[in-house]
Structure 1
């Protein structure tokens, strides 16, 4: 009953906001965002039955050094992705489009554990592990806040990275100011999608910024970190830049990290 109510509330949002297309997305084992796009007219059917993708999409459909698909072969069945309606959100840069995070399950026709949890669904694993922790410790739960560092890089004529937009001067406001048009757009989009940006600064690598969000439930924080990366990628497209989240894209300068501030709560 609770889920049915949420599904109806999403339909009301779709109609109210004029959304016509929805990204149904989940997270691969390496943190990539994968999924399908489906017209909003099919929201109720997709919310009930889900969509199908090959199991290997949870490993990016990449191959190993021998040329074999990682984790699953091409003969494997297809997973079923079921949307979590409480994560539905309109994209501020194209209000015709929304996104919703999904949980992945095994195919319903599998001989073993049909319709069961897909163990390569890292986001689903986080939810299961956290729920088990809460059950074991009488409601004790984890909240987390993250401090993602990343680099804004110039795009050369060949489309490849051509150095950072700013100099590697840590905490210098003049370098922070150089990127103000970019990070203010990131903050605008972030706030529109429910992220509470609490502080930021220029770090000590070329074009390296850090914008921090308020801590929250561990799964909700993970979704927001994913959303933040999507927002940065969109702003980079708009500004003709590259939003680089690689941990060490260049030798000789500081790497990009992501501090995790974790705490345990009751109530």
Structure 2
């Protein structure tokens, strides 16, 4: 993680960019973002006291209507200018209640686990692959693929599909790269109307903050063009679903602890990486309640076929080398991909 900027540095940067408002943004246990809009003149109070919310109204975050208000406290390191709205920036926030960290805040839970790793000298890094559909809503409320010409049985990597959506995809790409996130590839995925846009891996907290903002970005740009975007795991029963694959590695003193080029099993993994895989395999059924938490999630994680001929989603607790049918795929030396996550 980089150095956290000071309040004065944030104020100066905001004035240089012409920022007039800030989003105080946090997520519930389903990663649904909530926010308040804070005028820039109130930055000092926002940083000191946070933005108040009725927690129960904001989603699943461990509160009832009888609980005290939550306060969204901005993490200054998460300062993110909103590319399509030049006078607006976003802060990812941690939730507190009566001055104490709220134990059911997903960002706080993640920070606590990363702190435990950090106390042992480790840094957990992840790269995320967020798949999504571009759709339109019919008059009767049902949905359809936004591109009526996207009808191939095997549309993955379709050149014409990319061309028809060039404006949308390149706008997202330019915004992501303008933020310094390193978008390095954009593709048409396996289902009709499905896309994926990749950016470089970072420490886990930074990557997750970026993932939340990326989804918000895609939703907003789609709506600006008369479409909707959905990251829902399985919006169409006959098409491949959306995953949010995590590519994970563990680092210490700038060295990838998961990497071992001399791995006798030939996967390029260290014994620590195999122990990591063993823990995921042992606890797969339990942790899937968090990584794939909805009924719709399990419509993706099952044996079956789609129009393209494959679901590309795991159904068994397993691991293997560069095999996309596995729950845990080893796409290359020194990292492990979890394909259950949505």
Into which bin does the TM-score normalised by the smaller protein fall? 0.7 to 0.9
Task: Identify the residue that residue 132 of structure 1 maps to in structure 2.
Answer: 116
Q: Distance in 1 between matches of 2:32 and 2:109?
A: 16
Aligned length: 247
Q: 2:162 aligns with which of 163, 172, 176?
A: 176
Aligned ranges 1:1-267 → 2 under 5 Å: 6-57=6-57, 59-60=59-60, 71-107=62-98, 115-135=99-119, 137=120, 139-157=121-139, 161-165=143-147, 166-168=150-152, 169-267=155-253
Distance 2:252 2:90 in 1: 31
Distance 1:263 1:57, change over 3 A: farther
- Structure 1: segments with no counterpart, 5+ residues: 61-69, 108-114
1:73 shift after superposition:
2.1
- CA apart distance, 1:35: 2.1
For 1:254 and 1:216, locate their aligned partners in 2 and report how far apart those are by CA, in whole Å: 28
Task: Report SS of the residue matched to 2:100.
Answer: coil
Normalising by structure 2, report the TM-score.
0.68
Contact 2:127 2:199 in 1 (8 A): yes
SS in 2 for 1:234: helix
- After TM superposition, give the deviation of residue 261 of structure 1 in Å: 0.5
- Cα-Cα RMSD: 1.8
Listed as ranges, the gaps of 5+ residues in structure 2 are 254-342
Q: For each residue in 1:1-22, what CA deviation from the matched residue of structure 2 results, as whole angstroms up to 9, or x when unmatched? A: x97x611111101211111111
Structure 1 length-normalised TM: 0.87
In 2, Cα distance between the equivalents of 1:97 and 1:204?
35
Determine which structure has greater relative contact order: mean sequence separation of CA pairs < 8 Å that are 6+ residues apart, divided by chain length. 1
Post-superposition shift, 1:195? 2.1
Query: Matched residue of 2:219: which SS?
Result: helix
Compute the displacement of 1:200 (Å): 2.3
- CA contact under 8 A between 2:156 and 2:190: conserved in structure 1? yes
Q: 2: CA distance between counterparts of 1:72 and 1:93?
A: 34
CA contact (8 A) 2:169 2:186 kept: no
Q: 1:101 and 1:178, CA in 2 relative to 1: closer, same or farther beyond 3 A?
A: same
Q: What SS does the corresponding residue of 1:75 show, helix, strand or coil?
A: coil
Greater than 3 Å deviation, 4+ residue runs = 155-160
CA-to-aligned-CA distance 1:65-116 (integer Å, 9 cap, x gap): xxxxx84221210012111111112211111111111111112xxxxxxx22
